[in-house]
Chain A
Amino acid sequence: MSWETVIGLEVHVQLATRSKIFSGSSTAFGAEPNTQASAVDLAMPGTLPVANEQAFRYAIMFGLAVNAEIGKTSVFERKNYFYPDLPKGYQTTQLEKPIVGPGWVDIQRKDDSHKKVRIHHAHLEEDAGKSLHDTFFDTSGRGMSGIDLNRAGTPLIEIVSEPDMSSAEEAVAFAKKLHSIVTSLGICDGNMSQGSMRFDVNISVRKPGQPLGTRTETKNLNSFKFMEEAIALEVERQIDILEDGGNIIQETRLYNGDTKTARSMRSKEEANDYRYFPCPDLLPVVIDDDTIDQLRRNLPELPDARHNRFMTDYGLSDYDAAVLGDEAQMAHYFEAAAKVSSDAKLTANWIMGELSARLNSSDLDIGQCPVSADYLGRMVLRIKDGTISTKMAKDVLQAMWDGEGDPDTIIDKRGLKQVSDSGAIEALVAEVIASSPAQVDNYRSADDSKRPKMLGYFVGQIMKASKGQANPQQVNEILLKKLDELL
C-alpha cells in the first residue's frame, strides 16, 4: 500500500510599505547595517509602537484576494522569546484575532486539473533583524557575531494554509499562486532572493484512510526549487523511517539548498513556551466596512481573472494564459508588447519561445529582461508587416538583447530588410528557373502530387540568391505562378 503525503504551508510575505510596521524607519533593502533602525526598532527604554495603517490596508487586500473574511477587530499580541535579533525580547504578532480569517485559493496542477487550497488565516507581524556570524573579529582574531536591525520591524503577513496539499507539485503551485497574488496586488515585491517571501513547510505522511501522521516543519525556504527539493527529501526520509518500523519525531528542520541535505534544528520538547498575551501598547484596531468596501472596489486585477481574460481576449490557450498571466510582471510585459504589435498570439509565441529561453539561460526574470516590451512589440510588428522574416527576427532579438537599440535601427543598420518588391523577386525567380533546366524538366514531368515537394530546391536557391532577404511567402507565390506557366 502506498503512502499519502500531507503538506501545509506557512508563508511569510514582506509588505511593500515604505516605513516599518511600528516605526517610521525605512524598509528599503540593502542599506548599511543598522542605518535603518530607530530608537523604537532598537527597543530603547520608554519607546512605543505606532501601527502602520498601510500595512493593514495591504493585509486586507490580501484577505479580499483569497476570498477571506476580514477580522473586524484585529489585536496584536506579544510572542515572548529571547534572541539577539529580536530587540524587545518579544515579537509583536497576532494570534487570537488576526486581520485575515479563513479563505482559499485555486491551484492548477501540471495536468491542468484544479484544486482548492484552504487558508486557515493570515496575520500581521513584524520581521526580526538579522544575525551576522563571523563577520567581525576581535583583537585576538576570534570571530564575533553582529546584529543588523534594518530588517527588524519590516511588516509581514504570515499566511497559514490548511494541510490541503498532497505533493511537492501542489505545494509549489500554491506557493507560486500566493506569489502571483501578492505581486499582482502590489503589496510585496516578490523578490525571494532578498527574503521578501519565505516558506515554512509542514510535512507528514500516512497510509490512505489513516489519521494524520506526526509532522515536521522545514523552515525558511526561499525558492520554489528548494521547496520542491526539501519536500521530496523529507517525504522520502519519513517513509524510510516508517517502513523500517520507526517513529517520526515532531521537530523543526533546516534544508540546505547547496548540499541538498536537511538537519534537525530543534525538537518539540525544546520548543519555546511563547507566553502570548495582547500587547498593551497597541489598542485593538477596528476595521470598518467602508474601508473594506473601498479596498475591494479598487483591488487590482487578480491572477485568476487575468488568466481568463487572456484566454477570451487574446485567444490564448489555458497553458499560455497561465505562463503569461499568472505572474504580474510577465503579464504586464506581455500586454505592453502585444499592444504595440497588435498581434497577441505572435507576441505570446515570441515571449514564451525565444525570449523565455534567453531569460532562463541567463537566470533572469522578466523584470530584469534587457529587451523592453516596447522593443519586442515593435519587432513583432516588423515580422507581421513583412519587413523581416522569422529568421531575421532572431538576429534582431539577439541585437536588442545585446543592447544595440530599437528594432528599426537594428534592421536598418544591418540591412536586414526583407525583399518584398515583387519585381525584384520575379527577376530572382526567373534567374533561378533559367539556370536550373534539369530541375525544371523534372518538375514538368512529375506527377501533380509530387510537385509541391520539389519546390524546396527552387525556394532554397532563390533565398540563397537574395542572401536570405526575400520574403518567403512572395517567393512561393511567384515561383508557383512562373512554374505553372511552363507546364
Chain B
Amino acid sequence: MHNKTLAELSAGLASGEFSSVELTRHFLARIAKLDSVYNSFITVTADQALKTAAAADAKRSAGNSVHPLCGVPIAHKDIFCTEGVRTSCASKMLDNFVPPYNATVVENFIRAGAVVLGKTNMDEFAMGSSNETSWYGPVKNPWDINTVPGGSSGGSAAAIAARLTPAATATDTGGSIRQPAALCGISGLKPTYGRVSRWGMIAFASSLDQGGPLARTAEDLALMMNVMASFDSKDSTCLDLDVPDYSAGLTNSLKGLRIGVPKEYFGEGLNPGTASAVAEALREYEKLGATLIDISLPHSGLSVPAYYVIAPAEASANLSRFDGVRYGYRCEDPKDLNDLYMRSRAEGFGDEVKRRILVGAYCLSAGYYDAYYNKAQQVRRLIKQDFVSAFEEVDLILGPTCPNPAFEFGAKGDNPVAMYLEDIYTISTNLAGLPGMSIPCGFVDNKPVGLQIVGNYFDEVRMLNAAHQYQQVTDWHNRAPKEIV
C-alpha cells in the first residue's frame, strides 16, 4: 500500500480496496518500525489519526459523497499550528507549545477529511538547508542515511521518500520545499506568494514564506493544492483569487510550450552530474513538443546576498515574540526581566537561529539600514524585473533545483555561506514571489537530482501540467531507495 501514490490511495479508498483505518494502521506501523532511523517525525498522532480514519470510513460507507482526500493519510510540517497538538517548529523554544488554534492549511485538510499521521521534523524555525538545525536531531536522507535530506522541510521530504506518508505539507522561504524534494527524489511545489494562507504557519520571513505540498508525483501535488490553496481573510497578504482545479490541466499537451533556460543557472558551482541530468530532462521536454529558449536572468547572482539580508531582518522581528513571557521556553529562576529575556532566548534558540537574528538586527540598525536592508530591497525589485521580462518571452523557466545532490552531515557545518549557496537557484523565486517546483530527473552517484520548474504568477496549473507530462514519459519519480520495500 505504501508504494501507491496519493491518487492511487484515493482511488483505492473509493473502490473499497482497503479502508482508511487499514491504510492509517499500515503507515503508522511503518513509522513505528522505520522512523527511528530517519527521524522524520517529531510527533506522531496515532490515536487522532485512527479516529479520523474511522470517521472517514463511516462517511464513505454511509454512501456520502466525500472529498478525494477523505481518509487519505498525510503529515504536516511542524511549523503549522495544530489545535491541541504540540507545534514545536523544531525548536527547544516551542517544545512545550500546544496551540489553541489550527493553521488555515490544517483546517482545510480537516474539512477534506484527510488523516494526519503526525508532525514532521524540520530545521529550527525553518532556518537551514540540511535539517541539521532541528532541536530534535537531524533527519536522515532515505537514499543514503549518511547524507542530509535537505531543508528546511527535510522531515516531510524524507518521510515521503521512505514511504512513511504519501504526501505532506511543507513551507518554502528560500527553497525549503524544492531543495529537500530534489535531495529526496520526490516532487514539491512552492506556490505563488499569497496563494496559500500563512495564518497559523509560524513565521520565519513573512514576505517570503509560502506553504506548499510535497508528494511523489505532480498529480499528487495537484490533489494537495486543491486543499491547501484558499483565500483567507485572516492573512492580509493572501490574494482573493478563484482557486482553480489544479488537476484539470494535467493531461494537456505541451506542444508549443516555450521553455526558458537561464544561462546563469548552468554556470560555475553546478555539479556536472546534475548539469547532465537536467540537460537530459530538457531534451525530454523538446520531445514532448516544447521549444527551448535561451534566456538571461542577469541579477541571479545577487539573490543569495539579498535574501540573507531580507530574510534575517524579518526573522529578527518575527522571533522577538519568543521572549519567555507568555508561552514557550522560559529559563529557570530569572533574576530580573532582562535575565528572563536573555537567558530564555539564549537557551531556547539554536545557533543558526541566533546567527540569523543577529544578522537581521544588524542589517536594520541605525546607520546600516540603507546599506543593507534598503539595498537588498532594491536588488529584490531588479530580480523580480528579470523574471517579469523573461516571462514576456517564455511560459516556464527550467533549470536545476540545487547545484549538488545530497551532501554528508557536517559537510558544511562550519561554513554557513557554503550552506546558503545550496539555495542559489531557488531563492530568487521567493524574492520575486513566483511559484517554483522541483521534480526528480535523474541521479548522481545514486543520489537524486531535482529539475526546477518556475512559472509565472498564479500559473501553477501550467507548471503541474508540464511536470505531469514529463512524469508520463520518465520514471524517476517512481524510484525508491533500495532499503525501502
B264 CB within 8 Å of chain A: no
- Residue from the list B103, B314, B337 in contact with A46, Cβ < 8 A: B103
| Residue among A82, A147, A280, A283 facing the most chain B CB atoms (10 A cut-off) | A280
Choose, from B22-30, B196-204, B284-292, the stretch at the interface.
Answer: B196-204
Check if B81 sits within 8 Å of A46, measured CB to CB.
yes
| Residues of chain A from 259 to 278 with CB closer than 8 A to chain B in the complex | 273, 275-277
Verify B313–A277 contact, CB threshold 8 A.
Answer: yes
Residue B241 is within 8 A (CB to CB) of chain A in the complex: no
Known: A44-B327, A46-B201, A84-B325. A277 touches B94 (CB 8 A): no
Q: Is the CB of A89 within 8 A of B323?
A: yes
Asked if A283 meets B321 with Cβ closer than 8 Å, knowing A44-B327, A47-B200, the reply is no
Binds A, one of B64-72, B294-302, B362-370: B362-370
B233: Cβ under 8 A from any A Cβ: yes
Is A246 positioned at the interface, with any CB of B under 8 Å from its CB? no
A45/B321 contact (C-beta < 8 A), A39-B101, A87-B326, A280-B314 known: yes
Closest beta carbon of chain B to A276's beta carbon, Å = 8
CA of A428 to CA of B202, assembled, Å? 92
Q: Which of B94, B201, B237, B317 contacts A80 (CB 8 A)?
A: B317
Beta-carbon contacts of B184-221 to A below 8 Å, as 1s and 0s?
A: 00000000000000111111011100000000000000
B207 touches A280 (CB 8 A): yes
Q: A275 and B361 in contact (CB under 8 A), knowing A84-B325, A84-B337, A88-B321?
A: yes
A48 within 8 A of B: yes
Chain B contacts of A48 at CB under 8 A? 198-199, 234-236
> Which of A51, A87, A280 is within 8 Å of B321, CB to CB?
A87
Q: Is A306 an interface residue (CB 8 A)?
A: no
Q: Which of B233-283 contact A (CB under 8 A)?
A: 233-237
Q: How far is the CA of A369 from the CA of B235 in the complex (A)?
A: 46
CB distance from B203 to the nearest CB of A (A): 7
Chain B, range 65-83, C-beta contacts under 8 Å to A: 80-81
**CA–CA, A91 and B373, complex, Å:** 19
Chief secondary structure at chain A's binding surface: loop
Q: A273 to B101, alpha carbons, bound, how many Å?
A: 34
B237 touching A283 by the CB < 8 A rule?
yes
Q: B321–A275 contact, CB under 8 A?
A: no
Task: Find chain B residues with CB under 8 A from A51 CB.
Answer: 236
Restricting to A14-62, which residues have a CB under 8 Å from any CB of B? 39, 42-51
- How many angstroms between the C-alpha atoms of A276 and B94 in the bound complex? 27
Give the docked Cα–Cα distance between A282 and B237 (Å).
7
Chain A residue nearest in CB terms to B377 = A278
Residues of A within 8 A of B341 (CB): 82
Q: For A83, give the chain B residue with the smallest CB separation.
A: B337
A276-301 Cβ-contact flags toward B at 8 Å (1 or 0): 11001111000000000000000000
Chain B residues, CB < 8 A from A283: 236-237
* Residues of B with C-beta under 8 A to A87: 321, 325-326
- Least Cβ–Cβ distance between A146 and chain B, in angstroms: 11
One of A46, A89, A280 near B202 (C-beta < 8 A): A46
Which residue on A lies nearest to B200, using beta carbons? A46
**CB-defined interface of A72-108 with B at 8 Å, one 1/0 digit per residue?**
0000001010101001111000000000000000000
**CB neighbours of B325 from chain A (8 A):** 84, 87, 147
Task: Identify which of residues 347-374 in chain B touch chain A, using a CB-to-CB cut-off of 8 Å.
Answer: 361, 364-366, 369, 373
Check: B15 CB closer than 8 A to any chain A CB: no
Nearest neighbor of A79 in chain B, beta-carbon distance: B317
Q: Are A89 and B317 in contact, with the CB atoms below 8 A?
A: yes
Q: Assess the B366–A46 pair: CB atoms within 8 A.
A: no
Q: Are the CB atoms of A277 and B81 closer together than 8 Å? A: no
Which residues of the other chain, A, contact B198 by a CB distance below 8 angstroms? 46, 48
Residues in chain A near residue B87, CB distance under 8 A: 45-46
Chain A residue contacts of B319, Cβ below 8 A: 89
When distances are taken between beta carbons in the complex, the residues of chain A under 8 Å from B63 are none
Measured between alpha carbons, how far is A283 from B194 in the docked complex, in Å? 11
A280 to B377, CA, bound (A): 12
B446, CB-defined interface residue at 8 Å:
no
Task: List the A side residues contacting B103 at CB < 8 Å.
Answer: 46
Whole-angstrom CA separation of A276 from B313 in the bound complex: 10
Q: Establish whether residues B199 and A47, one from each chain, have CB atoms under 8 Å apart when the complex forms.
A: yes
**From B94, B317, B366, contact of A78 by CB (8 A):** B317
Which chain A residue shows the least CB distance to B125?
Answer: A45
Chain A residue nearest to B366 in the complex (CB): A273
Residue in A42, A44, A84, A90 with the greatest tally of chain B CB atoms within 10 Å: A44
Distance in angstroms between the alpha carbons of A45 and B198 in the assembled complex: 11
Residues of B within 8 A of A276 (CB): 364
Determine the distance from Cα of A43 to Cα of B318 in the docked complex, in whole angstroms.
10
CB distance from A107 to the nearest CB of B (A): 35
Q: Is the CB of B201 within 8 A of A43?
A: no
A45 touching B202, Cβ below 8 Å: yes
Evaluate contact between B326 and A42: CB separation under 8 angstroms.
Answer: yes
Query: Taking the nearest CB of chain A, how far is it from the CB of B259, in angstroms?
Result: 32
Is B137 at the interface (CB under 8 A from chain A)?
A: no
Cα A47 to Cα B318 with chains together (Å): 11
Q: Which residues does chain A contribute within 8 Å of B320, judged by CB atoms?
A: 80, 82, 88-90
B89 within 8 Å of A by Cβ?
yes
B317 near A90 with CB under 8 A, answer yes
The reply to whether A281 and B201 form a contact with Cβ atoms under 8 Å apart is no
Q: Could you tell me which residues of chain B, from 307 to 342, have a CB within 8 Å of some CB in chain A?
A: 313-314, 316-317, 319-323, 325-327, 337, 341
In the bound assembly, the distance between CA atoms of A96 and B198 in angstroms comes to: 26
Across-interface contacts of A50 in B (CB, < 8 A): 233-234, 236
Q: A42-B326, A80-B317, A82-B341 are in contact. Are A280 and B206 (CB under 8 A)?
A: yes
Enumerate chain A residues within 8 angstroms of B237, measured Cβ to Cβ.
280-281, 283
- Tell whether, in the assembled complex, residue B326 and residue A49 are in contact, meaning their CB atoms are under 8 Å apart: no
Residues of A within 8 A of B99 (CB): 44-46
Provide the bound-state CA to CA distance between A44 and B201, in Å: 11
Q: Which residue from chain A places its CB closest to the CB of B326 in the assembled complex?
A: A42
Name the residue on A nearest B80 (C-beta): A46
Contacts of B206 in A (CB 8 A): 280-281
Set of chain A residues within 8 Å of B322, measured between Cβ atoms: 45
Closest to B320 in A: A89
Chain B CB within 10 Å, residue with most, of A49, A51, A275: A275
Nearest CB on A from B135, distance (A): 15
B364 touches A45 (CB 8 A): no
A277 touches B202 (CB 8 A): no
CB-nearest residue of chain B relative to A39? B101
1/0 contact string of B371-410 vs chain A (CB within 8 Å): 0010000000000000000000000000000000000000
Enumerate 8 A-B pairs (CB-CB under 8 Å) in ascending A order. Answer: A42-B326, A45-B89, A46-B198, A47-B199, A48-B235, A49-B236, A50-B234, A275-B316
Binding site for A on B (CB under 8 A): 80-81, 87, 89, 94, 97, 99-101, 103, 198-203, 205-207, 233-237, 313-314, 316-317, 319-323, 325-327, 337, 341, 361, 364-366, 369, 373
What are the 10 tightest A-B residue pairs by CB atom distance, in nearest-first order? A89-B320, A280-B207, A275-B364, A280-B206, A43-B321, A46-B200, A45-B202, A46-B202, A46-B81, A273-B366
Q: Beyond A45-B87, A87-B326: 17 further Cβ-contacts under 8 Å?
A: A42-B326, A45-B97, A46-B81, A46-B99, A46-B103, A46-B199, A46-B200, A46-B203, A48-B198, A48-B199, A89-B317, A89-B319, A275-B369, A276-B364, A277-B369, A277-B373, A281-B206
Residues of A participating in the B interface, judged by any CB pair closer than 8 Å: 39, 42-51, 78, 80, 82, 84, 87-90, 147, 273, 275-277, 280-283
